[in-house]
């Protein structure tokens, strides 16, 4: 059964297209102008009061609640899954009139060996488990092992695979190699969704970030994602602007809508709003759903919970008032 082109996330899944170097050869990405736009996105738009509360809940619903640490244990992952099911205190949701909306995070993101645990912990919910793979975070593992890792995670029940690319292919402009690699990953994930981590903080330039985004989409990525969270420089608004503009270009060219996931360093409610504004302004409201947009975050939720309580009480909240993961 070929599910590659199935309509499982509400729109036509990206099949990829043959590598077309003309789409990236003369691409123009003006860093200064990009930075100016990024800097004024959040000064041009402001979301307050009930709008802010609603937007922050949206941020939660688009969140890949993540733990990717060397000291992860089964119990730790179970706790995280419990939090994923109930990210916001029930009384807060009730007061917001959202108690019946089934507010959960979008997915739980873990290492491959933790997938089975997470899947079990999330049984009976609609929350998928996402697994990193392909030698996360550096990706410097033999291809067979990376492909095997993907298959392992899929078999364990991961519905989404966050793969990392070989940065060398970008830094040496070896687009064919990058394309082939991602296409192979896409083949390997089968029904699961392929989220392609570009590790933009290690690609050197915004121009490279654009080119890598385009190649990833041509190779069949369902999502493109900024970072592993382990690079020195993770998600930034300027790089996001470049990547979502690539998504826009790819849509125009092929009709495929690609999802976007900034990850790493997004830790405040204010950050979350900034990214939502960016997506709304540069793409469209269509992207403001968990099918098209994700935050990769581990500590963001805590800040959002405090902000939500503040909205309701007009008092600044303390972190210990909200259950930890």
Partner 1 sequence: MSVREIFKSMEYGPAPETAKIAEAWLANNKKKFDNFIAAKFVKPNSKEYFETINPATGKVLAKVAKANDKDVDKAVKAARLAFAPWASLPGHARAKYLYAIARHIQKHSRLLSVIETLDNGKPIRETRDIDIPLVARHFYYHAGWAQLDDEFADYEALGVVGQIIPWNFPLLMLAWKIAPALAAGNTVVLKPAELTPLSAMLFSQICQEVGLPAGVVNIVNGYGDTGAEIVNHPDINKIAFTGSTEVGRIIRKATAGSGKKISLELGGKSPFIVFEDADIESAIEGVVDAIYFNQGQVCCAGSRLLLQEGIAKEFHKKLKIRMAKLRLGNPLDKAIDIGAIIDPVQLERISGLCEIGKSEGSICWQPELDLPKEGSFFLPTLFENVSPASTVAQEEIFGPVLVSMTFRTPTEAVQLANNTRYGLAASVWTENVNLALDIAPQIKAGIVWVNSTNLFDAASGFGGYRESGFGREGGKEGMFEYLKAVWEKDLKQTKASAKITEAKIFPDSNPEIKIDRTPKIYIAGKQKRPDSGYSYPILNPKGELVAEAALGNRKDIRNAVEAARKSEGWGKATAHNRAQVLYFIAENLSARSNEFKERLLDMTGVSAKQASWEVEKSIERIFYYAAWADKYDGAVHSTPMRNVTLAMLEPFGILAISAPVQNPLLSFISLLMPAIAMANRVIISPSELYPLAVTDLYQVFDTSDLPDGVVNIVTGKQDELADTMAKHDEIAAMWYFGSKQGSKLVERESVGNLKAIWVNNGKDYDFFDNKIGQGKEYLRRATQVKNIWVPYGE
Where in the sequence numbering do the catalytic residues fall? 162, 225, 261
Q: Which is nearer to partner 1, 96 or 110 (CB)?
A: 96
- Tell the smallest beta-carbon distance from residue 2 to partner 1 (Å): 34
H helical segments located in the chain = 31-44, 49-61, 74-85, 90-95, 115-121, 143-155, 167-171, 175-189, 206-218, 237-254, 269-282, 300-313
Contact (CB, 8 A) for 203 and 170: yes
Q: Using alpha carbons, list the distances in angstroms from residue 291 to 118, 169, 193.
A: 20, 29, 11
Question: Greatest CA separation found in the chain?
Answer: 55
Of 19, 21, 54, 82, the one binding partner 1 by CB under 8 A: 54
d(Cα 144, Cα 159) in Å, to the nearest integer? 21
- Tell the smallest beta-carbon distance from residue 146 to partner 1 (Å): 31
- Per the rule left: phi > 0, alpha: psi between -120 and 50, beta: everything else, 13 is beta
Of 1, 28, 314, 318, the one binding partner 1 by CB under 8 A: 28
Residue 294 found at the interface with partner 1 (CB under 8 A): no
Calculated CA dihedral for residues 212, 214, 215, 218, nearest 10 degrees? 160
Q: Which is nearer to partner 1, 148 or 253 (CB)?
A: 253
Single out the segment in contact with partner 1 by CB under 8 A; choices: 33-41, 72-80, 153-161, 173-181. 33-41
- Tell the smallest beta-carbon distance from residue 125 to partner 1 (Å): 19
Residue 22 found at the interface with partner 1 (CB under 8 A): no
- Per the rule left: phi > 0, alpha: psi between -120 and 50, beta: everything else, 265 is left
Q: Which is nearer to partner 1, 92 or 119 (CB)?
A: 92
Q: Which is nearer to partner 1, 114 or 244 (CB)?
A: 244
Structure token pair of residue 258: 């690609």
- Tell the smallest beta-carbon distance from residue 190 to partner 1 (Å): 32
Binding residues for partner 1 (CB under 8 A) = 26, 28-37, 40, 43-51, 53-55, 57-58, 96-98, 101, 205-207, 245, 276, 280-281, 285, 288
């Amino acid at each position: 059964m070929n599910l590659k082109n199935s309509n499982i996330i509400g729109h036509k899944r990206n099949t990829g297209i043959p590598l077309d170097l003309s789409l990236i050869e003369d691409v123009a990405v003006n860093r200064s102008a990009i930075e100016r736009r990024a800097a004024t996105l959040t000064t041009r738009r402001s979301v307050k009061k009930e709008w802010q509360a609603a937007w922050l809940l949206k941020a939660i619903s688009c969140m890949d609640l993540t733990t990717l640490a060397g000291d992860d244990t089964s119990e730790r992952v179970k706790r995280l899954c419990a939090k994923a099911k109930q990210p916001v205190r029930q009384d807060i949701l009730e007061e917001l009139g959202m108690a019946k909306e089934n507010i959960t995070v979008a997915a739980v993101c873990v290492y491959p060996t933790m997938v089975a645990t997470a899947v079990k912990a999330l049984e009976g919910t609609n929350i998928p488990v996402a697994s990193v793979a392909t030698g996360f975070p550096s990706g410097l593992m033999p291809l067979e092992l990376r492909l095997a890792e993907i298959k392992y995670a899929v078999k364990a029940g991961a519905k989404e695979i966050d793969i990392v690319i070989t940065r060398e292919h970008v830094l040496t402009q070896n687009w064919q190699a990058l394309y082939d690699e991602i296409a192979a990953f896409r083949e390997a994930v089968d029904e699961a969704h392929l989220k392609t981590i570009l590790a933009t903080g290690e690609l050197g330039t915004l121009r490279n970030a654009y080119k890598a985004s385009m190649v990833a989409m041509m190779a069949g990525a369902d999502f493109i994602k900024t970072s592993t969270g382990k690079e020195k420089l993770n998600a930034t608004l300027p790089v996001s602007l470049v990547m979502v503009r690539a998504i826009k270009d790819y849509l125009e060219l092929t009709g495929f809508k690609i999802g976007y996931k900034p990850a790493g360093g997004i830790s405040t409610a204010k950050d979350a709003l900034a990214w939502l504004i960016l997506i709304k302004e540069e793409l469209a409201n269509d992207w403001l759903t968990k099918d098209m947009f994700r935050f990769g975050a581990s500590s963001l939720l805590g800040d959002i919970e405090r902000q939500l309580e503040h909205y309701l009480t007009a008092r600044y909240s303390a972190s210990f008032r909200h259950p930890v993961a």
